Amino acid sequence: MTHNNQKKIAVINDISGFGRCSVAVAMPIISALKIQCCPVPTSIFSNHTGFPSYFFDDYTEKMPAYIAQWKKLGLEFDGITSGFLGSKAQIDIVKDFIRDFKTDRTTVVVDPVMGDYGKPYATYTPQLCQEMKRLVKYADILTPNLTEACILTDTPYRGDKVPVRDIGAMADALQKKGPGKIVITGIRQGDFVANFIYERGKPSRVLRSHRVGTERSGTGDVFAAIIAADAVNGVPFDKSVKRAGEFVKKCILRSEELGIPRTDGVCFEELLTTLK
């Protein structure tokens, strides 16, 4: 008996019970796109860290034994994705996971959740940033926001003043580390927000749309989940980036209509049936 008759994506990320981020976002979105989502928890949160207080349980020591059971089952994956990683040990576990489970038909998506607004998150020490740079070489698809692209390429952050040619130079530097497809997200350009698309062997593209609503938790997780599922389903990369961006925008607008607090993320559930 085989467990590999359906497309599967392994999602290595934390589980937050409330706040719509990480695995809680990836699982319904990937499932809606007809792919089985298999979580590898890195930690457990009652709610994400954007709230004033939260329960937290580090899962690092349990991860190897958890993953060992999957090896016994002979599981194979069409996609592997990684999100927020809290330590060098977790980054090493992700590297081992990719080496053990990646096949010729596996697409690896690395979402280097490291920071925003020009600054790394408090947990991201210089050493951890260096380790994330080493993880990049394992990615087929890389989805950093502008801050993370700057950190990964040692480029000074200039916010909405960064010219497109400099973003292109960052994408070029990142592709030399390994990934053939890169989208640098959340580039603020006045009243617009842009995504810079790099795909090896093709001209780069910039997709812009009007900014709407307020910044919200988990939008990057929504975006990355669609990118990962589309890659497994064979959707062209530029088309995937466009629809992921449009879906996030619709979710933000609907959340504003319903008065959803910023910490609670986007109410993607309201629009999940439109993802096909």
DSSP 102-132: --TTPEEEE----EETTEE-TT--HHHHHHH
Reading the chain (276 residues) residue by residue, the pLDDT tens digits are 789 999 999 999 999 999 999 999 999 999 999 999 999 999 999 999 889 999 999 999 999 999 999 999 999 999 999 999 989 999 999 999 999 999 999 999 999 999 888 888 888 888 999 999 999 999 999 999 999 999 999 999 988 778 888 999 999 999 999 999 999 998 988 888 899 999 999 999 999 888 887 778 899 999 999 999 999 999 999 999 999 999 999 999 999 999 999 999 999 999 999 998
Q: Is 232 within 8 Å of 7 (Cβ atoms)?
A: yes
Distances (CA, A) of 218 to 102, 158, 206: 27, 23, 22
Overall CATH class of domain 8-182+216-237:
alpha beta
CB atoms < 10 A from the CB of 266, how many? Answer: 29
Its pTM stands at 0.95
* Residues listed for the chain: 276
Q: Is 185 within 8 Å of 197 (Cβ atoms)?
A: no
Burial degree of 10 (CB within 10 A; 0-12, 13-18, 19+): buried
CA distance 199 to 225: 19
CA distance 87 to 60: 9
CA distance 146 to 143: 10
Tell me phi and psi for residue 181, to 5 degrees.
Answer: -130, 130
Question: What are the sequence ranges of the domains in the chain?
Answer: 8-182+216-237
At 181 the three-state DSSP class reads strand
